[in-house]
Amino acid sequence: MGARLALSRKSFQPHCRINVKFMDDVGIAEGAVDTGGPKREFFALVLDYLHDSGLFVGPEGSKFLTYSSSAMEKDDFFYAGMIIAMSLVHGGPAPRFLSRTLFQALIESPEMTTVTTDEVPDLKLRENLQKVLSGEVPEDLEDIIDMAGSRCILATPENAQQMALDTAHWYIFGRTRSAFERFKDGLKTLGIYSAMLENKEYFLDVMCHQNNPTTAEQIKEAFRPVLHPPGSNKRSTENLILCLWENFIFDTEGVGKIDEHSGTSLEKILFFSTGLKSFPPLGLKPTPTLCFLHDPEDSGELSKFPKANTCTNQLFLPTIHTTFQNFKCHMVFGVCASAGFGLP
């Protein structure tokens, strides 16, 4: 609601620098100045919200637009397209959850886009359309066929197939056409829609799900260690911690997307460090760095847990641990116990 309110202001300019402040449950803003981290986290959270909202339906990573009169009244489909466009331009994450069929319709037109009955997200309707393919028209499908204008005499298998496909097409694009047009208008913000038309293959990867999850090697390459001179005591400690760090991220990758025992993942590590759950299309700016917690805390002791500055993409590793198990245990706790913006 707060995002929609800001976007709907007449004074709002999507091309201007964005400043984000998060509020706690009693309306008090967190004290950090937004130099990038809160903004990235904001876009990540809003895109997660859109993915699970009632504006989109369908399986994970392959969403279609749905229709909602209340959402149309509030112009939510326009704002959904607008926030996606702004995220891409302002260094936020890519959506990567639109279906390829929806993407094709955006690039060409709904009329030039083929829809299969398997793509219909409503299970009951999908089952009934499968029955139409066999020459049967269930009674509870009559009204939808009439609304779709797809009724025909089922004299041949080809007639049945055409009626099923026409009905599926109407359900995906016909009944949602006004939502589709407003969503497309939102994507025109900051020239994103024009860029989509000119760079179809690139934006296919940006808008639609791709089976290329974040890897440990990507994280290793992305975070540049800030090291003391060779031969110093601190450099010796940093070399050990770097070894533990690399073992930690590759160990996390090895147990799958989410470690069943610890609950951590490479996406959570990246989110903890940068405010993003995946690498953005425009890359991370500033360049992420690995730093080391050599100095004691206010208590006089070295920190056992990692810290992060998502504004500057800095991850601070504890230097007190000498074994992998201790390092991993405290890294997992620090990452998983600090959901949201701020230091653990």
Our answer to whether residue 311 is catalytic in this structure is yes
Q: What are the beta bridge partners of residue 65?
A: 56
Pair of tokens at residue 240: 């050990």
Query: CA–CA separation, 288 vs 318, rounded Å?
Result: 17
Q: 208, 291, 311, 329: which one is catalytic?
A: 311
- CA 174 to CA 91: how far, in whole Å? 34
Residues ≥6 apart with Cβ < 8 Å to 303: 293, 297, 316, 318, 320
C-alpha to C-alpha distance for 304 and 296, rounded to whole angstroms: 10
Task: Give the separation between CA 165 and CA 61, rounded to whole angstroms.
Answer: 23
CB 238 within 8 A of CB 289: no
Cis peptide bond prior to 286, omega within 30° of 0: yes
CA distance 268 to 335: 7
- Catalytic positions, written as ranges: 311
